[in-house]
Amino acid sequence: MKYVLVIYFLCLQIMVGQQSQENSTNNSKTLEGFYDLSEMEMPTKLYLLDNNLFHYYSIFGSVDLEVYGTYRIEGNELKLQPNKELVQPYILYARHNDQLKDSISINYISPEHHREKMFFKVDQEWVTNPEVTGSFEEVLIKFKSKTLKNIKVNLTASQLRETPVFNTVELYFGEVSEGDNEFIMDNNRFYYMRKRLAKTPLLLEGDTIISGGEKRIREPLHESDKEAITKYITKGGIFSDTTINRGNEFYKIHLKKEDSKPLLHVLKNEKIKEEY
């Protein structure tokens, strides 16, 4: 009986070892490479790296859609997760402007929908444009203030029916460097498309990507390509740390999304009351 047990445990160890080896082999499979995901007249390229970075590029009509970030594998699905700032409606930049003296200036392009307003909370005070503007119009908000430490941006505030009350859809918070008094909000026109890409996983069959019902052949990447893509993504890609706007240098403010969603009442004296 003792010998039977010994043989049993030996067999069990061999089976476990084989299974571990198989799992190790499966985990060692790589998706790294270049994939041509083009369909019809829509050229689409996908680059995957073993460090879990991806770069996606697609052209359709007059739109050049570029997305980058990280990816993960869940079962037979490949899920792309764009960098956070790529799926924000706006990117906020700031600088110090001596000509503004004791004023704060915020310049932005109005939201896509006519019945939306932009609200900014500068330290403890909410400010907004006096009227709802049309689609994609340039807006300038200027108000008296000497110092500013932090800023909250209510990116899309939808009006509740015909009332002077606005509902917070997305609220972001950012710290401001000392002396910053001029702000520019760059409109991220294609963030909806990037969010849609993140919600649409690619199917996997082993280590092969299935797209549009077709198997996509993986082409190897040269080391120089990998280095270039990694550097491009880690340095910020199309949203670099600084941007040149109107010939002046503006620095990007990193925004963090907040969970709170206050109601904002626009009072008759143009003051804004915050309600949770």
pLDDT the model gives residue 18 = 44
Of 53-62, 89-98, 115-124, least confident by mean pLDDT is 115-124
pLDDT the model gives residue 131 = 66
Q: CA nearest 213: which of 73, 65, 37, 61?
A: 37
More confident residue, 190 or 110: 190
Question: Rounded to whole angstroms, how far apart are CA atoms 256 and 208?
Answer: 36
Contact call for residues 52 and 70 (beta carbons, < 8 A): yes
Longest dimension (CA), the chain: 94
Q: Measuring CA to CA, how many Å separate 254 from each of 16, 147, 236?
A: 48, 19, 12
* Residue 135 CA to its chain's centroid (Å): 22
Say yes or no to pLDDT of 23 above 70: no
Question: Rounded to whole angstroms, how far apart are CA atoms 111 and 259?
Answer: 21
Using pLDDT thresholds of 50, 70 and 90, give the confidence band for residue 22. Answer: very low
DSSP string covering 139-180: EEEEEE-S---EEEEEEEEEE-TTSSEEEES-EEEEE--TT-
